[in-house]
């Protein structure tokens, strides 16, 4: 289906983005315009971001929401953003701690989603999460261009600080809203498992006790009633 194809295509964009940004001698002419590394990387990044919007829209419109699409879509998003941030760190356009903070947030929220799903809760993207994604696209685009245009570095860093702010704020929102529910769900499930295990042990002990009593009674009856001798 087309939505799943777009999601997989976004994953294939990741190595192209890294190669375009890290490689120093990529460039070709397109009419009167020279396409250099940062412009090529920007085109790849924006194309991949566009597939993120398009695949979700088509999946909902055509009612083609599938399990594989649900699993691959957030993975593709995180691969794309992580690849862009790590590549910017590689070319010394972005501080490493900032990339680690943003990527770490993504893994933390993904872990929370996985635990919540196992407990029967669905964590949907809230308005802060959507704002964070939009701010990421704008900020990373500006930082990609700042590689060759230093005048854009300061605006890009301001935007990246905005990404960090919204990323942390949305993460706290997710954890504050769902962590208590998830924690209680895990504790209740563990409590039920322990109670079920204790019942099994008690039933096994009762059966052993009854079996030992039955064996003892049979032995006594045999001794007290010997066969008659003719």
Q: What is the mean pLDDT of residues 173-178?
A: 76
104-118 residue pLDDT tens: 988 888 887 777 777
Q: Is the pLDDT of residue 2 over 70?
A: yes
Contact 10, 76 (CB under 8 A): yes
Q: Between these two residues, 67 and 41, which has the higher pLDDT value?
A: 41
The structure's pTM equals 0.72
> What is the reported pLDDT for 100?
93
In three-state secondary structure terms, 70 is: helix
Q: What's the mean per-residue pLDDT of the chain?
A: 79
Distance CA 118, CA 111 (A): 11
31-48 residue pLDDT tens: 666 677 788 888 889 988
Q: What is the mean pLDDT of residues 121-133?
A: 67
| Cβ-proximal residues to 35 (8 Å cutoff; 6+ apart), any chain | 27, 28, 29, 43
pLDDT band at 228 (very low <50, low <70, confident <90, very high): low
| Cβ-proximal residues to 67 (8 Å cutoff; 6+ apart), any chain | none
Distance CA 68, CA 106 (A): 20
Q: What percent of the chain has pLDDT over 70?
A: 77
* CATH class for the domain made up of 2-189: mainly alpha
DSSP notation for 148-200: T-GGGHHHHHHHHHHHHHHHHHHHHHHHHHHHHHHHHHHHHHHHHHHHHHHHH
DSSP structural state of residue 120: T
> What is the reported pLDDT for 223?
45
Contact 76, 52 (CB under 8 A): yes
Among residues 159, 158, 177, which one has the least CA distance to residue 169? 177
> What is the reported pLDDT for 127?
62
């Amino acid at each position: 289906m087309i939505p799943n194809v777009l999601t997989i295509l976004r994953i294939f964009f990741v190595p192209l983005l890294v190669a375009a940004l890290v490689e120093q001698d990529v460039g070709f002419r397109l009419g009167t315009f020279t396409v250099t590394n940062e412009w090529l990387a920007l085109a790849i990044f924006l194309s991949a971001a566009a597939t993120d919007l398009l695949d979700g829209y088509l999946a909902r419109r055509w009612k083609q929401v599938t399990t594989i699409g649900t699993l691959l879509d957030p993975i593709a998003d995180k691969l794309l953003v992580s690849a862009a941030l790590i590549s910017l760190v590689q070319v010394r356009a972005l501080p490493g701690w900032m990339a680690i903070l943003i990527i770490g947030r993504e893994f933390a929220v993904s872990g929370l989603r996985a635990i919540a799903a196992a407990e029967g809760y669905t964590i949907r993207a809230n308005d802060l999460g959507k704002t964070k994604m939009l701010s990421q696209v704008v900020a990373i685009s500006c930082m990609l261009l700042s590689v060759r245009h230093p005048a854009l570095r300061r605006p890009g860093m301001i935007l990246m600080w905005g990404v960090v702010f919204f990323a942390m704020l949305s993460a706290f929102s997710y954890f504050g809203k769902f962590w208590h529910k998830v924690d209680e769900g895990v504790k209740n499930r563990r409590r039920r498992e322990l109670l079920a295990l204790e019942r099994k042990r008690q039933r096994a002990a009762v059966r052993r006790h009854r079996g030992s009593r039955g064996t003892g009674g049979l032995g006594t009856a045999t001794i007290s009633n010997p066969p008659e001798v003719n």
